[in-house]
Amino acid sequence: MRILLIEDDMRASRFLARGLTESGLIVDTVADGATGLAYGREGIYDVIVTDRRLPALDGLVLVQQLRAGGDTTPVLMLSAIGGLNDRVEAIRAGCDDYLVKPYAFVEALARIEALARRADRTRISDRLECADLMLDTRARTASRAGRDLRLQHREFLLLECLARRAGQVVTRSMLLEAAWHYDFEPRGNIIDMHMHRLRAKVDRDFPVALIQTVVGAGYMLNPAP
C-alpha cells in the first residue's frame, strides 16, 4: 500500500511515516499543500493523509481541488481542531475520515487500512490479466498459467506497474516511482537488478517471455505473446 502524507510539522510527520513504514507501507512525505496537491494528482496512492492547516495551500482546498479534478483517492484529514462543524466541513470538502490530534498511531493505522479496504471494494481493476498472467492487487498474489509466483513486495509492485500498462513502454523512472519513495536515491542499476529477478520468476520455464526490454526506453509487458 502506498501512502501520501502531507504534514508540515516535521516531528509529527517523522513519527507517523516511521510507524507506517515499519508496518510495511510505502510512504511519501511532503510538507506543504501545493506540493501535496501535485503529488496527489499523480494517481498512484492508495490513501492520502493530510493535515488541515498547511503552508502554500490549505488542506481543505487541497482536497476540494483533488475532488474537482475527479480524483477519488481516500483522504484522511488530521487536525488539532475537532469541533462538529470542523468535521462536517472537512467531510463536505471531500474527506473520507477525520482524526483529531493528538492521536494514537494504532488508530491512525487502523483508519488508513479501513479506507484502503473500502477503496479496494470499489476498484474495477483488483484483478489484472495479461495473456496467462494474473494478478490480484488486493491479495497481492500473482500466478502464470495457474502456477503461483512467489514475488517479493517490490517485485509485485513492479509487475503491477507493468500489468496496468500492458502493451505500453514503462520507463525506469515510472518503475522507480511505483516501488520506491519519491525521495529514494537509486544506486547503480537497481531497477534492472530487480527486473532481472522478476523476469526469472515470471518467464522461467515458460516458452514465451512476457516481460520485454525496450532498448533505451524501459520495459513492457507483452499482452499477446
Question: Which domains does the chain carry?
Answer: 2-122 (3.40.50.2300), 125-221 (1.10.10.10)
Per-residue pLDDT tens digits for 21-69: 988 888 999 999 999 999 998 888 889 999 999 999 999 999 999 999 8
DSSP the chain: -EEEEE-S-HHHHHHHHHHHHHTT-EEEEESSHHHHHHHHTT---SEEEEESS-SSS-HHHHHHHHHHTT----EEEEES---HHHHHHHHHHT-SEEEESS--HHHHHHHHHHHHHHHHHH-GGGEEEETTEEEETTTTEEEETTEEE---HHHHHHHHHHHHTTTS-EEHHHHHHHHS-TT----SSHHHHHHHHHHHHHHTT-SS--EEEETTTEEEE-S--
Residue 222 reports pLDDT greater than 60:
yes
Is-above-0.95 flag for pTM? Answer: no
Q: Say what percent of the chain tops pLDDT 90.
A: 56
Residue 182 reports pLDDT greater than 60:
no
